[in-house]
Amino acid sequence: MKVEVIHLRAPDETEVREVALAEAIAGKGIEGDRYFFAEGARPGLALTLIEGDVVREAGLAPGSTHRQLTVTGTGLNDLVGKKFRVGAIECYGVMLCEPCLHLQQMTRPGIIKELVHRAGLNADILTDGSISVGDEVVEL
């Protein structure tokens, strides 16, 4: 898998924005994103990933799922409970990022049922570093 696109949304913004590079801080999240916690992120809130094919198959616009990283390929679900690398940073797959009512309100009715067990991965960031479009996502 590879990072296809990076979407961030600052706490004071209503829309996500696409960026080519993001700074990951261990235990805290992605700098400049609404889920960056200076005091430390709760488990699984530091990084979210989704497979690009899932987004396209659901007919959703890029970034509409509000996951930070959209990746090419498949296999995100297999990373639950495992360490993996995104570019140079190490991460830990905490749990599936299941679709919620908020996602359905932002997109369209029925999306929850369509995306059950396919809506992405919640992960912890274990080491500091940069994430760039094109970085490989590899299980360790």
Residue type, 51: E
CATH number, domain of 98, equals 2.40.33.20
Q: Which range marks the domain in which residue 76 is found?
A: 3-139
Residue type, 133: V
- The structure tokens 């898998």 sit at 1
Q: Read off φ and ψ for residue 54, nearest 5 degrees.
A: -65, -45
pLDDT classification of 114: cutoffs 50, 70, 90: confident
pLDDT in tens, 19-34: 999 999 999 999 999 9
| Tally of structural domains, the chain | 1
Distance of CA 137 to the CA centre of its chain: 12
Q: Is residue 110 a contact partner of residue 99, using CB atoms and an 8 Å limit?
A: no
* CA distances (Å), origin 32, targets 22, 110, 124, 136: 8, 31, 17, 22
Instruction: Give the β-pairing of 69-71 and 47-51.
Output: parallel
pLDDT in tens, 67-93: 999 999 999 999 999 999 999 999 999
